[in-house]
């Protein structure tokens, strides 16, 4: 058995996953209308379940550094294994997820963003460079920062979801 297969099998079987959609427009709609249209969160929730993991909580917040920081601090102080941010990874002025989350990383997984852009290139072409998706570990936990589109969320979790227990096993070793 290859070492990565052994690590994957040694990692936690069911992960507790916190899912946070970062979108100023969806957040405003939720506040005004009392409901949200969070298709990306819906897609990611289904993929998390398909992988055999448990969605422990789901939030929708605005592209505000203070709100993003608060979610990371809550996650790091809690019992969840993985936090997934959907959105705020592009190049617009409002996209601040990466800048806000990165200081919390003890180790950044540079290859994660590179591989996601590679997989995405096959689907969307050169537009894949518009995402700054990344991942990192802190306090033995994993944080993923994914693009906010439903297709990107599905692509990322289908492509890399199997590796989450492997990453956590190594991060906690």
Whichever domain contains 69, its CATH number is 3.40.980.10
Residue 14: C-alpha distances to residues 20, 41, 61 (Å): 19, 19, 26
pLDDT of residue 11: 74
Using the structure block, give the residue that is written with the tokens 């439903």.
150
Per DSSP bridges, beta strands 54-61 and 16-22 are parallel
Quick one: which of 69, 55, 77, 76 has its CA closest to 22?
69
pLDDT of residue 13: 83
Interior CA angle at 13 toward 12 and 15, to 5°? Answer: 70
pLDDT of residue 2: 67
Q: What are the per-10-residue average pLDDT scores of the chain (173 residues)?
A: 69 91 72 70 96 96 96 98 96 96 97 92 87 96 96 94 93 93
Residue 56 half-sphere exposure toward CB, CA atoms < 13 A: 14
* Neighbour count for residue 122 (Cβ, 10 Å): 9
- What is the count of structural domains for the chain? 1
What range does the domain containing 127 cover?
Answer: 3-171
pLDDT of residue 130: 83
pLDDT of residue 144: 98
Spatial distance between the Cα atoms of 110 and 135, rounded to a whole number of angstroms: 7
């Amino acid at each position: 058995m290859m070492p990565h297969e052994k690590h994957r099998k040694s990692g936690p079987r069911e992960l507790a996953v916190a899912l946070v959609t970062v979108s100023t427009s969806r957040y405003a709609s939720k506040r005004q209308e009392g409901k949200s249209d969070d298709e990306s969160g819906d897609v990611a929730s289904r993929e998390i379940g398909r992988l055999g993991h448990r969605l422990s909580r789901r939030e929708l917040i605005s592209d505000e550094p203070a709100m993003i920081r608060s979610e990371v601090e809550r996650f790091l102080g809690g019992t969840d294994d993985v936090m997934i941010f959907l959105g705020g990874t592009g190049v617009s002025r409002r996209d601040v997820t990466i800048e806000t989350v990165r200081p919390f990383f003890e180790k950044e997984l540079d290859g994660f963003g590179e591989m996601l852009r590679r997989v995405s290139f096959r689907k969307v072409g050169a537009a894949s460079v518009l995402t700054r998706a990344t991942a990192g570990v802190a306090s033995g936990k994993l944080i993923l920062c994914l693009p906010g589109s439903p297709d990107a969320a599905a692509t990322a979790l289908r492509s890399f979801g199997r590796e989450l227990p492997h990453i956590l096993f190594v991060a906690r070793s």
